[in-house]
């Protein structure tokens, strides 16, 4: 059973209303039931079954985000069993780890962590992992997979709004989230804001692959559950991330062979061939927080 939210992780988040610090007045190291209070406005945020709930106090969502959250809540119990998920995660994780290494001892934020597949893989080696998602049901599935006292904090929040403290993480990762958010500006700015200097940002998002283009698949749309998506080219995503971080690199990964057994998938070699990787299903983008990149433009708004 999930021991609860680690009290040592409260300084990493802040009050969604006025960005004031949150304090816990109890003495437990892990909190399953309790509350934290904003020092500035006094508002109390509940912790239920170990999940810190900030989302209930955030302003009402726009239609696209509300549909996304409702769909993720509903699908949470079966998300991990959808056909492609385990092998997709294995492939993406390998590529992400290459960018994050060494992760030993690092404090990592997983934005849009969903049911925790990535975060759980990082936990044994990382110093701590915070999973943030606006789907409380997905976080509940994540919590059910944690079976001992771990340095993992679960927060329900809309990550487009500022709920993170400055310079609190060594690395931020986000898998398959950017594509579902029509305006990524505040999301990217918040992720940069909470990174420590020289910290690493790594994310993946749907790729507008050459075969999808040739087969006439649209670039934007809504999936069967009503979740909005946008398919990126690698250049497009790199440019967008560069707008916030001042640097970036992006490449397609995840060739559409994921149903083959692992030993039959020559991923690494094939993904290096420029023509072949244009068939990749996902774009991987990385950036680092360098001293010269802009701080201005940080917002607490969500489009
Ligand atoms: C496709 S799922 C990916 C989950 C997980 N990262 C994975 O790769 O399996 C996208 C996740 O992002 C979350 N999400 C989307 N927009 C969000 C936002 N603005 N704030 C917090 N979570 C968000 C959704 O609730 C959902 O769990
Ligand atoms: Zn406050």
Asked, for residue 23, whether it belongs to a domain, the answer is: yes
> For the chain, how many structural domains are there in total?
1
State which residues form the domain around 200: 5-288
Binning pLDDT at 50, 70 and 90, where does residue 303 land? very low
Q: Which ligand is nearest to the CA of 40?
A: 2
Asked, for residue 177, whether it belongs to a domain, the answer is: yes
Q: What's phi and psi for 195, nearest 5 deg?
A: -80, 145
Is the CB of residue 114 below 6 angstroms from any atom belonging to ligand 1?
A: yes
* C-alpha 36 – ligand 2 centre gap (Å): 11
What CATH number corresponds to the domain at position 269?
Answer: 3.40.50.150
Tell me the average pLDDT across 91-119: 94
Asked, for residue 191, whether it belongs to a domain, the answer is: yes
Compute the distance between CA of residue 30 and CA of residue 7 in angstroms, rounded to an integer: 6
**Could you read off the pLDDT of 239-278 as tens digits, one per residue?**
999 999 999 999 998 766 655 666 556 656 667 767 777 7
Tell me the average pLDDT across 106-114: 98
Ligand 1 atom 13, closest CA:
112
Average pLDDT of the chain is: 90
Asked, for residue 300, whether it belongs to a domain, the answer is: no
Q: Which ligand is nearest to the CA of 45?
A: 2
pLDDT value at 151 more than 50? yes
Asked, for residue 302, whether it belongs to a domain, the answer is: no
Asked, for residue 84, whether it belongs to a domain, the answer is: yes
**Could you read off the pLDDT of 67-94 as tens digits, one per residue?**
999 999 999 999 988 756 777 888 889 8
* C-alpha 240 – ligand 1 centre gap (Å): 19
Tell me the average pLDDT across 190-217: 95
Binning pLDDT at 50, 70 and 90, where does residue 302 land? very low
Asked, for residue 295, whether it belongs to a domain, the answer is: no
Compute the distance between CA of residue 141 and CA of residue 119 in angstroms, rounded to an integer: 13
Tell me the average pLDDT across 164-190: 97
* C-alpha 194 – ligand 2 centre gap (Å): 18
Burial 149-158 (b: 16+ CB within 10 A, else e): ebbbbbbbbb
Is the CB of residue 203 below 6 angstroms from any atom belonging to ligand 1?
A: no
Asked, for residue 247, whether it belongs to a domain, the answer is: yes
Compute the distance between CA of residue 285 and CA of residue 297 in angstroms, rounded to an integer: 21
Q: Which ligand is nearest to the CA of 18?
A: 2
Ligand 1 atom 10, closest CA:
177
pLDDT value at 107 more than 60? yes
């Amino acid at each position: 059973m999930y021991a609860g939210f680690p009290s040592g992780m409260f300084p990493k988040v802040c009050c969604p209303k006025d960005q004031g610090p949150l304090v816990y007045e109890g003495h437990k190291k892990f909190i399953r039931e309790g509350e934290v209070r904003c020092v500035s406005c006094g508002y109390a945020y509940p912790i239920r079954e170990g999940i810190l709930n900030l989302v209930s106090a955030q302003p009402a969502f726009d239609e696209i985000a509300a549909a996304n959250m409702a769909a993720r809540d509903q699908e949470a119990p079966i998300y991990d069993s959808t056909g492609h998920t385990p092998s997709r995660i294995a492939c993406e994780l390998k590529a992400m780890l290459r960018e994050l290494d060494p992760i030993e001892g690092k404090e990592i934020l997983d934005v849009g962590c969903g049911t925790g597949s990535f975060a759980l893989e990082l936990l044994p080696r990382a110093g701590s992992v915070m999973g943030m998602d606006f789907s409380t049901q997905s976080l509940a599935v994540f919590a059910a997979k944690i079976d001992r006292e771990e340095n993992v904090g679960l927060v329900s929040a809309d990550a487009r709004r500022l709920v993170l403290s400055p310079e609190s993480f060594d690395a931020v990762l986000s898998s398959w989230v950017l594509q579902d958010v029509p305006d990524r500006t505040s999301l990217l700015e918040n992720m940069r804001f909470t990174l420590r200097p020289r910290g690493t940002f790594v994310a993946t998002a749907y790729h507008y692959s050459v075969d999808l283009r040739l087969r006439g698949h649209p670039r934007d749309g809504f999936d069967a559950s009503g979740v909005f998506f946008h398919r990126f080219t690698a250049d497009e995503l790199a440019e967008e991330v560069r707008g916030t971080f001042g640097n970036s690199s992006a490449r397609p990964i995840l060739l559409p062979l994921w149903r083959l057994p692992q030993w039959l998938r020559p991923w690494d070699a094939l993904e290096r061939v420029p023509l072949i990787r244009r068939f990749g299903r996902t774009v991987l983008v990385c950036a680092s927080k360098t001293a010269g990149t802009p701080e201005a433009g940080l917002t607490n708004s969500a489009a």
